Chains A and B, each alone.
Chain A
Amino acid sequence: MILRIDPLAYLKAAGLVAVATVPAVILVVLTPLESVSAIYMLPGLVAAVWYGTGPAVAAALLGAVMTSLFYPPLFSVMVVRPSQIVDLVISLIVALTIGRLAGQLRAQMLRVREDERRVRQLYDLSSEIAGAADVAAIYNIVAAHMADAFEREVVLFAASEGQGWHAIRRSAAAVPATALIEAARQFAEGRGRPDSPDVSVADLPAGGRWLLCRLGRPGPLQAVLAVAMGSDSHDLSGEIVASARSILEEGARSLERLGLTRALEERQLRQRTDALRDILMESVSHELRTPLASILGSASVLSTAPAISSEPRLSDLSKAIASEAGRLDRRIQNLLDVTRIRAGALQPRFDEVDPADIVNGALDSTAERLAGRKVTLALARDLPFVRVDPVLVEQALINILENAAKFAPGDAPITISASERDGRLIIAVQDEGPGLDQHEAQQIFERFHRGERHADIAGGSGLGLAIAKTFVEANGGSIEPLSEGPGKGTTMRLWLPLAVLRAGEPDDD
């Protein structure tokens, strides 16, 4: 509440005294009254309740003067009898005291009302905000409340995607001045500084005074509210700032709550998705692979049966069933791997391993498919250990070897080499297949990509290399395809991070 001298209130208080004079005159005329001092207490009382302490005091004083007029001789301010002096003094004291008390009561009442209004506004604000579904809605509600609370123009600024810093809501139709936009932006950017306040005042050369308030955490989601203060400086009292702050706090709390709710919802959704994916993976791998295991197992039993193994054509057929079942199983594995990658469920279990073990594991797994080829193994002696998930890197290497076997002619040799270079380990798989042109070298790892020149000779889903690349990268490595050009063969080069070697060995060599 702002205390100001209001001349009108004093006039009205004087008016009250004048009004009280009417019954006083009537009473004096009708009945010989000793004193009308009681009547003149009333204006003071009423003035106190209506206009506050100052006007009440004035009314009491004026009432005392009027009372003295009614002592005989009538209508003279001369007070002669002692009893009249006592009466006058007492009535004046009573009137003043009552006036003071009533004035204080009124001030208290006003404060209570003001508080109540503010509480109600905040209550409305928070209940309105509670229904807000997103950040923008909260900003708008807060801005609307600011405008209501101060009965002034409020402009809301925010940086939204693709539009930069701009006004997203304004109560007035006029476009905010560039100077104001600039001031709001600077205010927003200055918020990272520890000394930057959450409320500040901007004086614009042409646009008067603005109260700038911040809403939300620093970052792309924060907003600035500008409240037009006109040019009168006393409106910028602490009270406006305080109520602005309470509105902002409510908004900030809601924003935080919204963030938490959002995060919670996302986490629950993620958990549900994860659970669903696990169930799906489980069921796909079980439902598809169980019959496969029966097919492969049965074919492997058949191929050893004397009746079939003695008959080359039948023996070939039963072996074909087994090897095709194996191929189908690898396809399913690829699908499962892709599902894992897409779901972001790749979590490498890092270990420090001998890279030769990984290469040998991959060779063992592909022995059947590389049968009949000359495979040359060129591992540098004393290779340093690598820090990777050996199972993932082995799978990547298997896919690369299969790819080489698929595209290179049936008897073309494959060379696998490993060496240390520039603080990393290189494993290279070199084939003498059709090679790659520039465009293919870029395209080769894209999902489902298959070189068009090879589409006629290669089966497969084209997933193998895409999976290999993702697996290697998940281990902090990289794959680069190298080729002299079409017809010149391809080298796939894996770069892997080295393990940190520890000094000291337990061996007693």
Chain B
Amino acid sequence: MTEPRQQAGPLVLVIDDEPQIRRFLRTGFEMQGFRIAEAETARQALELAVMRRPDLVVLDLGLPDADGASVLEALRGWFPGPVIVLSVRSSEEEKVSLLEKGADDYVVKPFGMAELLARARVVLRRVAQPGAAEPVLRVGKLMLDFAQRMVSLDGVPVVLSPKQFALLRVLGIHHGKVLTHRQLMKELWPQDPDEDVQYLRILMKKLRDKIEPDPARPAYLVTELSVGYRLRTQEQLDAAGYAEAMR
């Protein structure tokens, strides 16, 4: 993978009351050149966040002294950096509410280190280039030129309707991140965000028909069931590695 950068790596604040989980997270992150700060309780976590200013927070929801969601809210009061939430396989509602309270992503326990690292890289990269500073986004054969309002597949321009482009654009701005249905509705129908989610689904179907190599098995625009949609990054696309099994 990357070269270990002993002191210069990004600082991850791991908030988890389970020592065994903290132990493998520490090893896993350090092997990839990250620096680590650890907290066992919500209080400790907030103190450390203020003192150390981490580049990334990994927050376990099952803390002994506070509800994970309230820690997230307290952090979001002043902390602009990315937060990844660790949750047990829980209700989709909880995931949605965490994302809307400002979590950047979630990983469901049990998870492999590779999965968490991939998510961490995506959110850190987004912080490095806020608001799609990159004028052009590339993933697989898809190219999205924000400035020119152009989309092409394998170099061939694709004609999208304004709404379809708006949907792809907002997912592109938050490249790699899950956006909930409600967040997308607010972007696309700002006057009427409580409009039927069906519209969004139909819009997504049409967009996929235009840009997906196989609309039946979307590669770029993936659905997080009952939560929302995500535009995969190149890394996520490679990690998915489903293509060889599919025809």
Do these two chains really belong together in a complex? yes
Report if A371 contacts B (CB, 8 A): yes
Report if A118 contacts B (CB, 8 A): no
Report if B163 contacts A (CB, 8 A): yes
Given contacts A297-B24, A301-B27, A506-B189, contact A326 B223 (CB under 8 A): no
Instruction: Judge whether B24 and A394 touch: CB under 8 Å.
Output: no
The interface-forming segment of A17-25, A30-38, A101-109, A352-360 is A352-360
Q: Of A293, A301, A361, which is within 8 A of B110 by CB?
A: A293
**In the bound complex, CA of A120 to CA of B164 (Å):** 83
Instruction: Judge whether A357 and B245 touch: CB under 8 Å.
Output: no
How close is A352's CB to chain B, nearest CB, in angstroms? 6
Give the residues in chain B near A375, CB-CB below 8 Å.
245-246
How close is B212's CB to chain A, nearest CB, in angstroms? 11
CB-CB contacts below 8 Å: A296-348 with B: 296-298, 300-301, 304-305, 322, 325-326, 329, 333
Chain B interface residue count, Cβ-Cβ cutoff 8 angstroms: 51
Given contacts A297-B25, A373-B245, A385-B201, contact A391 B112 (CB under 8 A): no
Report if B240 contacts A (CB, 8 A): yes
Give the residues in chain B near A373, CB-CB below 8 Å.
245
The interface-forming segment of B132-140, B150-158, B202-210 is B202-210
Instruction: Judge whether B218 and A301 touch: CB under 8 Å.
Output: no
Report if A390 contacts B (CB, 8 A): yes
How close is A122's CB to chain B, nearest CB, in angstroms? 55
Give the residues in chain B near A272, CB-CB below 8 Å.
none
Residues 201-240 of B, flagged 1 when their CB comes within 8 A of A and 0 if not, give 1111110000000111110001101100000000000001
Closest B-chain residue to A295, C-beta based?
A: B110
Instruction: Judge whether B62 and A353 touch: CB under 8 Å.
Output: no
A-B contacts counted at CB < 8 A amount to 137
Report if B114 contacts A (CB, 8 A): yes
Closest B-chain residue to A298, C-beta based?
A: B24
Report if B195 contacts A (CB, 8 A): yes
Give the residues in chain A near B88, CB-CB below 8 Å.
285-286, 289
Closest A-chain residue to B202, C-beta based?
A: A505
Give the residues in chain B near A292, CB-CB below 8 Å.
110
Instruction: Judge whether B245 and A364 touch: CB under 8 Å.
Output: no
How close is A282's CB to chain B, nearest CB, in angstroms? 9
Report if A455 contacts B (CB, 8 A): no
Report if B28 contacts A (CB, 8 A): yes
**In the bound complex, CA of A300 to CA of B214 (Å):** 31
Instruction: Judge whether B112 and A353 touch: CB under 8 Å.
Output: no
Give the residues in chain A near B214, CB-CB below 8 Å.
377
Instruction: Judge whether B21 and A293 touch: CB under 8 Å.
Output: yes
Given contacts A296-B110, A304-B114, contact A502 B20 (CB under 8 A): no
**In the bound complex, CA of A391 to CA of B108 (Å):** 15
How close is B168's CB to chain A, nearest CB, in angstroms? 13
How close is B59's CB to chain A, nearest CB, in angstroms? 15
Given contacts A364-B242, A506-B195, contact A289 B110 (CB under 8 A): yes
**In the bound complex, CA of A448 to CA of B161 (Å):** 52
Report if B162 contacts A (CB, 8 A): yes
Give the residues in chain A near B240, CB-CB below 8 Å.
364, 367
Report if A249 contacts B (CB, 8 A): no
Instruction: Judge whether B201 and A301 touch: CB under 8 Å.
Output: no
Give the residues in chain A near B2, CB-CB below 8 Å.
none
Q: Of A293, A298, A357, A508, which is within 8 A of B223 by CB?
A: A357
Residues 20-47 of B, flagged 1 when their CB comes within 8 A of A and 0 if not, give 1101110110010000000000000000
Q: Of B114, B196, B206, which is within 8 A of A507 by CB?
A: B206
Instruction: Judge whether B20 and A291 touch: CB under 8 Å.
Output: yes
Report if B187 contacts A (CB, 8 A): no
Given contacts A294-B24, A357-B223, contact A507 B161 (CB under 8 A): yes
Instruction: Judge whether A305 and B31 touch: CB under 8 Å.
Output: yes
**In the bound complex, CA of A236 to CA of B143 (Å):** 97
Instruction: Judge whether A377 and B246 touch: CB under 8 Å.
Output: yes
Give the residues in chain A near B114, CB-CB below 8 Å.
300, 304
Of B110, B114, B214, B240, chain A has the most CB atoms within 10 Å of the CB of: B110
Report if A49 contacts B (CB, 8 A): no
Q: Of B23, B112, B164, B226, which is within 8 A of A322 by CB?
A: B112
**In the bound complex, CA of A296 to CA of B215 (Å):** 33
A-B residue pairs, 4 tightest by C-beta: A300-B112, A294-B20, A293-B110, A296-B110
Q: Given contacts A377-B216, A507-B202, could you give 6 more A-B pairs where the C-beta distance is less than 8 Å? A: A293-B111, A294-B20, A297-B113, A298-B20, A300-B114, A354-B204
B-binding residues in A (CB < 8 A): 285-286, 289-298, 300-301, 304-305, 322, 325-326, 329, 333, 349, 351-354, 356-358, 360-361, 363-364, 367, 370-371, 373-377, 379, 385, 390-391, 394, 499, 502, 505-509
